[in-house]
Amino acid sequence: MNTVQVETPGGSYPIHIASGRLDLLGQSIPDDATAIALVSNPTVYALYGQRASQALAKTGKRLVHIELPDGEAYKNWETLNLIFDGLLQNRLDRKAVLVALGGGVIGDMGGYAASSYMRGIRFLQVPTTLLAQVDSSVGGKTGINHPLGKNMIGAFYQPVAVEIDTDVLATLPGREVAAGLAEVIKYGLIIDAKFFAWCEEHVDALRALDSQAITYAIQRSCELKAYVVSQDERESGLRAILNFGHTFGHAIESGLGYGEWLHGEAVGCGMVQAAELSAITSGLSAESVQRVRALTAAIGCPVRPPDLGTDRWLELMQVDKKTEGGRLRFVLIPEIGQAVFESVPAEALRRVLDNAALPQE
């Protein structure tokens, strides 16, 4: 088993990465827990609910299951309330532990519910998508979407542990694998050029979920994310680099309606746009932009942005949480493996967005 440790003011916890972790979930439930709420959706529960329940039942604690509808379109207030309904109807107290079993949608909503139920109960992240294993389960960003903007309501709230069972990726659709790989290559682009080059070399193995390659990619991603969030839990500086490609990506997600493009697909395309912007404003070479575009396409993500129209793009991006005093700010990469956080001249941004309006080839 590989273990990566996260150390933040809001909590320190292990990320366990191995085959078969699902059968050992009970080990991560604190001894003084009074009950366990297993939160998942019908897709994940049908595949892994029984195994997770059996492992949790070994603690001897009362176990209740709370089922949420599946999909990004349901990452909202109404669904969040279903979690509170389930916790209250089952009379779970302050010493209960919430277990989020699923992808990033379940993890973000489960974590946010845990942050505010009775002003905070403990929670365990059990990520079952590649994206959730390499990114969303780590670092304590929790929350829901608003029709006017992505992840607009939420809290920083750290789990007690992250349990990553690499076996569960076997049932993941190819499109979801591609979406997860987008966040993997993001780490290479912002902080580890050697890892980016490794991803280029191993792209076929990664797409095929080759066990050695994917386990290394998960571990390296978790190490890099743990390093960043341990430095800056609440995004007062460094952590913003994890948002590379997201100003464009979140605009795609909310502009098209949540769920049409997967989060990882939108981020993949957004990283290509952010690389183009970096070439105009921050000296990224044309060859490096081409490497970003080629690897994004090779993992199976779209590289051609949807034509939202430049004005609509600008309106959608304005909602970004990094905006200060109406001024948009971007994570840019002067070279692969290095990131800076800056505002850009309006003209440079327009050039990138106007490109998004070119006719399809």
Ligand X SMILES: O=C(O)C(=O)C[C@@H](O)[C@H](O)[C@H](O)COP(=O)(O)O
Ligand Y SMILES: NC(=O)c1ccc[n+]([C@@H]2O[C@H](COP(=O)([O-])OP(=O)(O)OC[C@H]3O[C@@H](n4cnc5c(N)ncnc54)[C@H](O)[C@@H]3O)[C@@H](O)[C@H]2O)c1
Residues with catalytic roles: 119, 141, 183, 225, 235, 239, 243, 246, 250, 263
Among 79, 135, 199, 305, binds ligand Y (CB under 6 A): 135
CA 238 and chain centroid, separation: 17
Nearer to ligand X, 39 or 242 (CB): 242
Cα gap 129→277, rounded to integer Å: 30
Is 75 a binding residue for ligand Y by CB under 6 A? The answer is: yes
Cα gap 360→261, rounded to integer Å: 18
Minimum CB–partner distance for residue 88 and ligand X (Å) = 27
Minimum CB–partner distance for residue 281 and ligand Y (Å) = 25
Is 59 labelled a binding residue? no
Is 332 a binding residue for ligand Y by CB under 6 A? The answer is: no
From 148, 130, 124, 346, select the one nearest 251 (Cα to Cα).
148
Strands 11-18 and 35-40, by their bridges, are unpaired
Query: 131 touches which of ligand Y, ligand X, none (CB within 5 to 8 A by kind)?
Result: ligand Y
From 97, 158, 157, 163, select the one nearest 128 (Cα to Cα).
163
From 119, 118, 98, select the one nearest 108 (Cα to Cα).
98
The CA angle 30-98-149, to the nearest 5 degrees, is: 140
What are the E-state strand segments in 148-217? 149-156, 161-165
Query: 246 touches which of ligand X, ligand Y, none (CB within 5 to 8 A by kind)?
Result: ligand X
Is 71 labelled a binding residue? yes
Nearer to ligand Y, 72 or 233 (CB): 72
Is 45 labelled a binding residue? no
Minimum CB–partner distance for residue 346 and ligand Y (Å) = 27
Instruction: Indicate if the alpha-carbon torsion angle 272, 236, 109, 25 is positive or negative.
Output: positive
Is 141 labelled a binding residue? yes
Cα gap 112→142, rounded to integer Å: 5
Total count of residues recorded for the chain? 361
Strands 97-102 and 122-127, by their bridges, are parallel
Minimum CB–partner distance for residue 85 and ligand Y (Å) = 20
Nearer to ligand Y, 47 or 57 (CB): 47
Q: Which residues pair with 124 in a beta bridge?
A: 99, 161
Is 139 labelled a binding residue? no
Is 107 labelled a binding residue? yes
> What mask, x for binding ligand Y by CB under 6 A, covers residues 237 to 276?
-------------------------xxx------------
Query: 102 touches which of ligand Y, ligand X, none (CB within 5 to 8 A by kind)?
Result: ligand Y
Q: What is the DSSP string of 276-311?
A: HHHHHHS---HHHHHHHHHHHHHHT---S-----HH
Is 78 labelled a binding residue? no
Binding-site positions read 70-75, 104-108, 128-129, 141, 150, 183, 246, 263
Residues near ligand X (CB under 6 A) are: 135, 139, 141, 150-151, 183, 235, 239, 242-243, 246, 321
Residues near ligand Y (CB under 6 A) are: 41, 43-44, 47, 70, 72, 75, 102-106, 108, 128-129, 131-132, 135-136, 139, 141, 151, 168, 171-172, 176, 179, 262-264
